[in-house]
Chains A and B, each alone.
Chain A
Amino acid sequence: MGDTSRLCSVWLGSETGILKGVSLSRKQAFNFCNTSHLSRDQEVRALCWGDPAESELLVGSVDGTVKTFSTEKGSFTETRRCGDPADGCFTGLAVLRGSALVSCVECGTLRVWKEDSSEPVTELSAGKNVCRMRQSPVHPHKVATGGKENGLKIWDLESPEKPVFTAKNLRDDWLDLRRPHWVRDMAFIPGTDKVVTCTGYHQVHVFDPSSPQRRPVLEVEYGEYPLTALSLTASGDTVVVGNTHGQIALLDLRKGLVRGCLKGLVGGVRGLQCHPSQPVVASCGLDRFLRIHSLEDRKLQHKVYLKSRLNCLLFSSRDLEEPAGEGGAQEVKEEEEGDEVWDSMERVEEKPKRKTTEEEEELQKKKSKKKKKN
């Protein structure tokens, strides 16, 4: 079990409660399940890495439990109760240094849990109907929340009474009617303080907390359907958004133009993530497929059928195509296997390795056959 989990470079959570790991170099998908029988309240809603070394995954389910999955061992190591199912599903999970866990549920309660106690250390209410909570990669104690009729709020967990930044709704439209507001997903732009959000009214907004303007600095509209997922590329100036019809687009944040669309996805997009170092983006959704597109030429690189509807996904920072051959023994084995493959192939030049006489005869025969053909 441990060796299969070490191979996986993409992790996905499904509606049936199964954690799926996909190894792209081997083109295989593996299922990891906590219990021997599946049940719908184990549906995975949030995934995040448990530690910066990416050896542990935290899986948040609908029934309010957060399970820790170890990629080294390939099994679930512990389970924690982090809230009631009555509060709603997890909308975000994050890890603070010192093994503290931050969880946010749909009713808006954001809690910080320490490992030993079953009561939260800090608790704050981020409004009602929170759709997503994300942690800033630069400042781990800063989190952003947003939801339906609940604008973007950036909280500092060390001073949880008031949000550091509350976004203002857009100006009233030309009929002087209040604009509806529905933040579905957000991301912190690396290098600056800015936050990018995507809304259910097919808009993408960029907010800048350092500027005195609380309204969005940049507004981009894409499509006609709610945007459900968002991910920033490693360079920070392009954002990938997906909507409920399965249309995924690359938007440029400098001017606010659509760079291009990624084709292939048929169902609503539930999870999108760009790889931290390579220019690829993974998307998963209700059509039960994991698709990996390259960002430069927008072509589909990999498509994997995973039999349940997928809710969230995580990339590991490892190189995607790299075969996970770790440990000296395994490397030697690979070399030996490689030698056999090379030996059985026809050689044109002098062979550098020693061989048995039979193999030499075979090779000589092949050479003579080749000469005859030529």
Chain B
Amino acid sequence: SSEEQEEKMEKSEQAAAAFPPSFSVSEIKNKQRRHLMFMKFKQEKRKQKLQLKKKKKKEREALGDKAPPKEVPKTIENQRVYDETTVNPEDEEVAFDEGTDEFCSYFNGLTNPKVLITTSDRPRGRTVRFCEQLATVIPNAYVYYRRGLALKRVVPQCIARNFTYVMVVNEDRKVPNGLVLCHLPDGPTAHFKVSSVRLRKEMKRRGKEPTEHSPEVILNNFSTRLGHSIGRLFAALFPQDPQFVGRQVATFHNQRDFIFFRFHRYIFKNEKKVGIQELGPRFTLKLRSLQKGTFDSKFGEYEWVLKVSLSAVTVFFKMQEELCCLI
């Protein structure tokens, strides 16, 4: 057996010394040696890359004006296919569709929003505080404790009491993680995933408590047809006549299908400079489904459903083509 061991050592030494073409760093059984070989390999690669870069730079300088233009790196934003559902502001049909949809009564000044905020059953402290802070942000909002009532039964009662929105904050593991926003008379129901919730006391450099004035609403980047529907859903949460005296603004910023909510107070120092103070909670939303009609997850008709795919590759391509639906 000792002879066999010697033979093996010789062979491995020969292999290490001779570097036959089928050699790969992963075949070395000794961890330290393998690590060293890999480090050497990486350093070699880095050196080669630097040399290539230097060469290219020299060539570019040598050519001067005639050099080919610099290549733009591929990013997800670059690779995005133009979405044909992007709304053209002059389109009559879309304008009519929006002018007669479920939200038109707010934008025509006929109704005022009245929001009911509730949670899933038996909420923990964080969610309760989140709901209270949301109620200060949204004017005319009422927080009620959900006593284990079924949503389908809550909805007709709210309609009878003239509420226009029901907002249900879902909680999981003591943290709010979902939001169901149901527009009441017979309107669409949007289900969002909520992440990175920051309550008021966790905010750095925040201002004092928000006042009772109605805030202005900023909706950024809701340019496709679906984006328009969601944008109107948010805009109808707030009264249509913002009180500029209060200098408060709620922003819904959509980027790559994530909607960021921020609540600020601004002050104009002079014509060009603005100072802002962040008040209020901040959270991000991601649309999971938009259902036509009031909350009915089993038998309702969905207008848009997020398709979760399991493999990372398909997610990447979907983000390029289909998933970026709101922008």
Digitize A257-288: 1 where CB-to-B-CB distance is under 8 Å, 0 elsewhere.
00000000011100000000000000000111
8 Å CB contact of A38 from B85, B96, B301:
B96
Collect the chain B residues with CB atoms within 8 Å of residue A31's CB.
93
How far apart are the CA atoms of A15 and B299 in the complex, in Å?
20
Digitize B204-217: 1 where CB-to-A-CB distance is under 8 Å, 0 elsewhere.
00000000000000
Collect the chain A residues with CB atoms within 8 Å of residue B32's CB.
none
Q: Are B305 and A16 in contact (CB under 8 A)?
A: no
- Whether a CB of chain B sits under 8 angstroms from the CB of A18 is yes
How far apart are the CA atoms of A226 and B297 in the complex, in Å?
11
Residues 221-245 (chain A) with a chain B CB within 8 angstroms: 225-226, 228, 244-245
B226 nearest CB neighbor, chain A only = A287
Residues 287-312 (chain B) with a chain A CB within 8 angstroms: 292, 298-305, 307
- Whether a CB of chain B sits under 8 angstroms from the CB of A40 is yes
- Whether a CB of chain B sits under 8 angstroms from the CB of A254 is no
A182 nearest CB neighbor, chain B only = B299
8 Å CB contact of A244 from B91, B96, B300:
B300
8 Å CB contact of B305 from A15, A228, A246, A288:
A246
The smallest C-beta distance from A342 to any residue of chain B, in angstroms, reads: 33
The smallest C-beta distance from A372 to any residue of chain B, in angstroms, reads: 25
The smallest C-beta distance from B155 to any residue of chain A, in angstroms, reads: 19
- Whether a CB of chain A sits under 8 angstroms from the CB of B225 is yes
Digitize A140-170: 1 where CB-to-B-CB distance is under 8 Å, 0 elsewhere.
0000000000000000000000000000000
Digitize A199-218: 1 where CB-to-B-CB distance is under 8 Å, 0 elsewhere.
01000000000000000000
8 Å CB contact of A228 from B225, B301, B322:
B301
Digitize A306-342: 1 where CB-to-B-CB distance is under 8 Å, 0 elsewhere.
0111000000000000000000000000000000000
Digitize A25-52: 1 where CB-to-B-CB distance is under 8 Å, 0 elsewhere.
0000001000000111000000000000
- Whether a CB of chain A sits under 8 angstroms from the CB of B94 is yes
8 Å CB contact of A245 from B91, B93, B100, B305:
B305
8 Å CB contact of B303 from A38, A40, A228, A267:
A267
Collect the chain B residues with CB atoms within 8 Å of residue A18's CB.
93
The smallest C-beta distance from A248 to any residue of chain B, in angstroms, reads: 13
Q: Are B299 and A307 in contact (CB under 8 A)?
A: no
The verdict on A307 contacting B94 (CB below 8 Å), with A244-B300, A268-B292 known, is: yes
- Whether a CB of chain A sits under 8 angstroms from the CB of B97 is yes
Collect the chain A residues with CB atoms within 8 Å of residue B302's CB.
244-246, 267-268, 286
Collect the chain A residues with CB atoms within 8 Å of residue B65's CB.
none
8 Å CB contact of B93 from A16, A226, A228, A244:
A16
8 Å CB contact of A305 from B85, B97, B298, B304:
B85
The smallest C-beta distance from B232 to any residue of chain A, in angstroms, reads: 15
Prevailing SS type, chain A contact patch: loop
- Whether a CB of chain A sits under 8 angstroms from the CB of B71 is no
Q: Are A286 and B93 in contact (CB under 8 A)?
A: no
Of A15, A16, A40, A287, most buried by chain B (CB within 10 Å of CB) is A287
The smallest C-beta distance from A38 to any residue of chain B, in angstroms, reads: 5
Residues 158-197 (chain B) with a chain A CB within 8 angstroms: none
Q: Are B303 and A268 in contact (CB under 8 A)?
A: yes
Q: Are A244 and B304 in contact (CB under 8 A)?
A: no
A268 nearest CB neighbor, chain B only = B301
Prevailing SS type, chain B contact patch: mixed
B contact residues, total (Cβ < 8 Å): 20
How far apart are the CA atoms of A38 and B307 in the complex, in Å?
34
Q: Are A267 and B304 in contact (CB under 8 A)?
A: yes
Q: Are A308 and B301 in contact (CB under 8 A)?
A: no
How far apart are the CA atoms of A18 and B91 in the complex, in Å?
14
Q: Are B85 and A244 in contact (CB under 8 A)?
A: no
- Whether a CB of chain A sits under 8 angstroms from the CB of B84 is yes
Residues 350-370 (chain A) with a chain B CB within 8 angstroms: none
How far apart are the CA atoms of A308 and B307 in the complex, in Å?
22
Residues 206-247 (chain B) with a chain A CB within 8 angstroms: 225
How far apart are the CA atoms of A210 and B300 in the complex, in Å?
35
The smallest C-beta distance from A330 to any residue of chain B, in angstroms, reads: 30
Collect the chain A residues with CB atoms within 8 Å of residue B94's CB.
307
The smallest C-beta distance from B78 to any residue of chain A, in angstroms, reads: 23
Of B93, B225, B300, most buried by chain A (CB within 10 Å of CB) is B93
Residues 80-110 (chain B) with a chain A CB within 8 angstroms: 84-85, 91, 93-94, 96-97, 100
Q: Are A288 and B225 in contact (CB under 8 A)?
A: yes
Collect the chain A residues with CB atoms within 8 Å of residue B305's CB.
245-246, 266-267
The verdict on A308 contacting B93 (CB below 8 Å), with A226-B299, A286-B292 known, is: yes
Q: Are B292 and A288 in contact (CB under 8 A)?
A: no
Q: Are A307 and B304 in contact (CB under 8 A)?
A: no
A20 nearest CB neighbor, chain B only = B93
Q: Are A40 and B100 in contact (CB under 8 A)?
A: yes
Digitize A76-112: 1 where CB-to-B-CB distance is under 8 Å, 0 elsewhere.
0000000000000000000000000000000000000
Collect the chain B residues with CB atoms within 8 Å of residue A39's CB.
100
How far apart are the CA atoms of A228 and B301 in the complex, in Å?
9
Collect the chain B residues with CB atoms within 8 Å of residue A309's CB.
303
Q: Are B96 and A16 in contact (CB under 8 A)?
A: yes
How far apart are the CA atoms of A287 and B302 in the complex, in Å?
9
Q: Are A287 and B303 in contact (CB under 8 A)?
A: yes
How far apart are the CA atoms of A18 and B94 in the complex, in Å?
12
The verdict on A307 contacting B303 (CB below 8 Å), with A40-B100, A288-B225 known, is: no
A244 nearest CB neighbor, chain B only = B301
How far apart are the CA atoms of A266 and B305 in the complex, in Å?
6
Q: Are A307 and B93 in contact (CB under 8 A)?
A: yes
How far apart are the CA atoms of A286 and B290 in the complex, in Å?
11
A15 nearest CB neighbor, chain B only = B97
How far apart are the CA atoms of A16 and B302 in the complex, in Å?
18
Q: List 13 A-B contacts (CB under 8 A).
A: A15-B97, A39-B100, A225-B298, A226-B299, A244-B299, A244-B301, A245-B305, A267-B304, A286-B303, A288-B85, A288-B225, A305-B84, A308-B93
A286-B301, A288-B225 are known; give 11 further A-B pairs, CB within 8 A. A16-B93, A16-B96, A16-B100, A18-B93, A38-B93, A266-B305, A266-B322, A268-B292, A268-B302, A268-B303, A307-B225
9 tightest A-B CB contacts, nearest first: A268-B301, A286-B303, A244-B301, A267-B303, A305-B84, A307-B93, A38-B96, A40-B100, A307-B94
